[in-house]
Structure 1
């Protein structure tokens, strides 16, 4: 078995790998937990020059001391940055690089770009020389989900954690490309918001930054736990690392030649074609009717990388929904908003607000009868409309929505927390399509929203789709799927005419 070098994330040293290292040794592996300068354990203390480069050298020096011919280099969280830097300098020694719930570090970018905790960004902007480690579960939760970490493990994590030197987070990672062809495995922690399904969905959108993930040397595993699997699921993580060293794991694939990706598959309903007009970011699908008509504005999810063609308002699902609304006598509106990455929710919210105003100003629309229908990650954009319901908003609908920001997103702005919005006094009625086979990281947000809705006695109609999956309208032609869409549209239009 190859040797394992384990590099811990922010605030932690080699000690954090204790149980995983023991399991790997029992299986016959050689294990070397890295001690990075300034991060506790047996490593040297931090000095004025402790930066990412120092941590890269720490890992390189450890590689040079290892006798085994092949090394599996494992990085958790921040640790992937020194791992990649070291692999770039010793590629001939590395058999595989394993990302454990770590972001896709980029050449020329700092680790800070992948840090979800906003308090870290604020502290560094204020000139802090080091970032104190979190002192509570809530503080650790801002860095990543603590799902599965027991109280005793959390107490030990907090007690042994040390401050993270500033320059380890702010110094850009510099790579030559020497390790670009090395085999890679990603270990995704579902409770922290990552899953194989979400990776595949992003790859199939055509994001050029992710096309390398379809290489046969790239594999994935999922763990049903939070951001610290070495504490919450050490046995499972060790098993995954052993399998990764063998080249096992799920491989992401693109559609075969001539096969459409899911988001471009035809809408599940055959709808009579209606007139369509485009103004800026907004398309209006117009019914054959006299006088101003109620309107439904459909809001897509994401992130959808900039430059993806066709854009969401031309995807069959959104065209289908808008045409369906128009065929039933309402104006269907779709909008291309700028949710190109997680940090872009404020821009997306501006685009949706502008689209709503454009729709309401059109003389063919009754400005006092409008519904908003949010899809997938667009669900977070519903919060403002629920919290401060304008008098013309008759209904909010949501299809397989994300209703709580995922833990690894670092999205703390209350404008994008629909659960918190349920405390408002004048909430609109809500129609929610829930799919049985929802991605686990999303299903938990729907459950939290519905629990809060019950506590606040919010008017929420849940339309369940047995066997349904995320984005079902493009892949499911079952009678149950047809009925779910018909029932949801009927309910939304019913709110518009009352």
Structure 2
């Protein structure tokens, strides 16, 4: 069976695909969930030099060392930047890119280009700490609507609180897509439920960009931006439907 490789977003790790991974494997698919440098269980490897290219190379090397081909590469949130760069490097290993409520950059754009209104916040938070990363510090009450199940919400917070996102990953632009990477099938799965202003902000804009691009297939999920944790069954259903389209 052709594999899914699932890439987490900011302040995350491979861990947050737990329920999505379980269901996809039960359906018979190989699933891999690598964690990016400086995140999750690899937090101790973070340093001031970590940038977007670091994370792109994390996945390029993962695909190579695991000998993965015909991959459906899924990026959630910030990881849209990562999968775009991976497609530039090793398009021959991929069959489709899936942007799950994710950054959808044009060549030469950084995360700060996509969300300039948040740059000052990020830069100031980084300077309050060690200068190169921003630690997550969310009160549980803020996530009540985003992750209604209290057990799942606490599980998520136990792993994400205190995680540091290297700010270099947001400053560095993604390289220009080579022709092979540009023609890979791309799907944007937009999460229509608005929590914490995400649908009305960056990810609403990304959904509009996807809908306006004839090279991007656009679909919507009845879920919010935290879908891998808050609505894993809907994510799985969407991914299996896409896989069915590929294999028909």
TM-score (normalizing by structure 1):
0.43
Q: Paired residue for 2:132?
A: 129
Choose between structure 1 and 2: higher strand proportion: 1
- How much has 1:137 moved relative to structure 2? 4.4
Note closer, same or farther for the CA distance 1:42–1:164 as it changes in structure 2 (3 Å cut): closer
Deviations 1:273-297 (A, max 9, x none): xxxxxxxxxxxxxxxxxxxxxxxxx
Instruction: Report if the CA contact (8 A) 1:36-1:44 is conserved.
Output: no
Residue 246 of structure 1 aligns to a residue in which SS? Answer: helix
CA distance in 1, matches of 2:95, 2:156: 30
Instruction: Report if the CA contact (8 A) 1:11-1:39 is conserved.
Output: yes
Q: Paired residue for 1:165?
A: 166
- How much has 1:227 moved relative to structure 2? 0.5
Note closer, same or farther for the CA distance 1:43–1:93 as it changes in structure 2 (3 Å cut): farther
Residue 38 of structure 2 aligns to a residue in which SS? Answer: coil
Bigger Rg, which one: 1
Deviations 1:79-106 (A, max 9, x none): 1111111111000111000000113212
Note closer, same or farther for the CA distance 1:43–1:122 as it changes in structure 2 (3 Å cut): closer
CA distance in 2, matches of 1:117, 1:135: 20
Q: For 1:295-306, list aligned pairs within 5 A.
A: none
Deviates more, 1:125-134 or 1:52-61: 125-134
CA distance in 2, matches of 1:168, 1:35: 14
Instruction: Report if the CA contact (8 A) 2:103-2:111 is conserved.
Output: no
Residue 97 of structure 2 aligns to a residue in which SS? Answer: strand
Deviations 1:148-189 (A, max 9, x none): 442222222222121101101111111233311000111111
Deviations 1:21-61 (A, max 9, x none): 11111111111102100011257620221111100000101
1:175 maps to 2:182: no
Q: Paired residue for 1:64?
A: 64
Instruction: Report if the CA contact (8 A) 2:211-2:217 is conserved.
Output: no
Deviates more, 1:123-132 or 1:55-64: 123-132
Instruction: Report if the CA contact (8 A) 2:72-2:96 is conserved.
Output: yes
Unaligned runs of 5+ in 2: none
Instruction: Report if the CA contact (8 A) 2:6-2:75 is conserved.
Output: yes
Deviations 1:468-491 (A, max 9, x none): xxxxxxxxxxxxxxxxxxxxxxxx
Q: For 1:90-109, list aligned pairs within 5 A.
A: 90-109=90-109
Between 1 and 2, higher relative CO (CA 8 Å, sep ≥ 6) is seen in: 2
Q: Paired residue for 1:30?
A: 30
Q: Paired residue for 2:75?
A: 75
Note closer, same or farther for the CA distance 1:158–1:234 as it changes in structure 2 (3 Å cut): same
Residue 242 of structure 1 aligns to a residue in which SS? Answer: helix
Instruction: Report if the CA contact (8 A) 1:149-1:231 is conserved.
Output: no
CA distance in 2, matches of 1:44, 1:55: 15
Note closer, same or farther for the CA distance 1:147–1:238 as it changes in structure 2 (3 Å cut): same
TM-score (normalizing by structure 2):
0.82
- Alignment match of 2:226 (pick from 225, 228, 234): 228
Runs of 4+ aligned residues of structure 1 deviating over 4 Å after TM superposition are 137-141
Root mean square deviation of aligned Cα: 2.7
Note closer, same or farther for the CA distance 1:17–1:177 as it changes in structure 2 (3 Å cut): same
Residue 217 of structure 2 aligns to a residue in which SS? Answer: strand
Note closer, same or farther for the CA distance 1:68–1:165 as it changes in structure 2 (3 Å cut): closer
**Would you say how many aligned residue pairs link Structure 1 and Structure 2?**
231
